[in-house]
Amino acid sequence: MTKTETVRLQGSLRHSLLKMYHSANAGHVACSLSCIDLMIASLIQHKKTTDSFILSKGHAAASLYVCLNYTGEISDAQLETFYKNGTSLPAHPAANKFQGIPFALGSLGHGLPIACGIAKANKLHSKTGPASDSAYAYVLMSDGETNEGTTWEAAHFAVRHQLDNLIVLIDKNGLQGFGTTDQVLGDTADETQLINLGFEVKQADGHNPGEMGKAIEDFKTSKNGKPKVLIANTVKGKGVSFMENKLEWHYLPMDAASYAHAIVELKEKYGA
């Protein structure tokens, strides 16, 4: 995918997102805008069929849905059922519906342990059968989510079991449920502590898929026994100026005026 095509994709997926959220009169808009580029870089541009992708930040489900719509697993018609009664696409993913959603998460702190289990299975497989060592487990978390204790249980496990086939993606936008991360518990997704624990850590602009993609490629060549973390420095609500860095856009649905305004901005910024 060329750089131009990528920018267009960043725009078109945002367009789909906003359309879905507006039609559903739903919240979590800024949450999805925050990680959509990270998802493009990982899920769309790097994930292979043998890899697993876990969205641990389940409240950004809509961004996963639009990505899977792009890859063809979720149809346009299905996408329109988002949030509606009788849907397979609720606000947080439903279980056992789509191959591209192997684990339906919404309560935070579940994805990293599960991804560790998948990475561990791939390590075990590679000893008894065809090498799965090249299969990766990706897990996308939010920075607020790293407040959860299970993050650290899993982190120790990943290091101890040398899961260098595990790539943790942290959508780090500095905001969480009821304050900034600094205000609440401080930066629990701090690079230094992750490095000290034994992870190989990279940081990247969370809205530059090219930069994030390069980091992922570098990780894949680094079979050093260390699990990987890509800290994607993001902006909550990225792409829609009045949503950027605003806590309330975690929760608010768009009214007609704000939706119209947002769509105009997308056209200007991404050409979509």
Query: Does 104 participate in binding another protein (rule CB under 8 A)?
Result: yes
* Total of residues contacting another protein (CB under 8 A): 32
**Sole binder of another protein in the list 116, 231, 243, 266 (CB under 8 A):** 116
Shortest distance, position 25 Cβ to another protein, whole Å: 26
Interface positions, 190-219, toward another protein (CB under 8 A): none
**Sole binder of another protein in the list 28, 57, 120, 207 (CB under 8 A):** 120
Which one, 91 or 104, has the nearer CB to another protein?
104
Query: Does 110 participate in binding another protein (rule CB under 8 A)?
Result: yes
Shortest distance, position 42 Cβ to another protein, whole Å: 18
**Sole binder of another protein in the list 17, 29, 35, 115 (CB under 8 A):** 115
Other beta carbons within 10 Å of 11: 18
Distances (CA, A) of 249 to 28, 105, 242: 7, 21, 9
Which window, 65-73, 108-116, 174-182, 216-224, contacts another protein (CB under 8 A)?
A: 108-116
54: β partners: 139
Which one, 113 or 227, has the nearer CB to another protein?
113
Query: Does 180 participate in binding another protein (rule CB under 8 A)?
Result: no
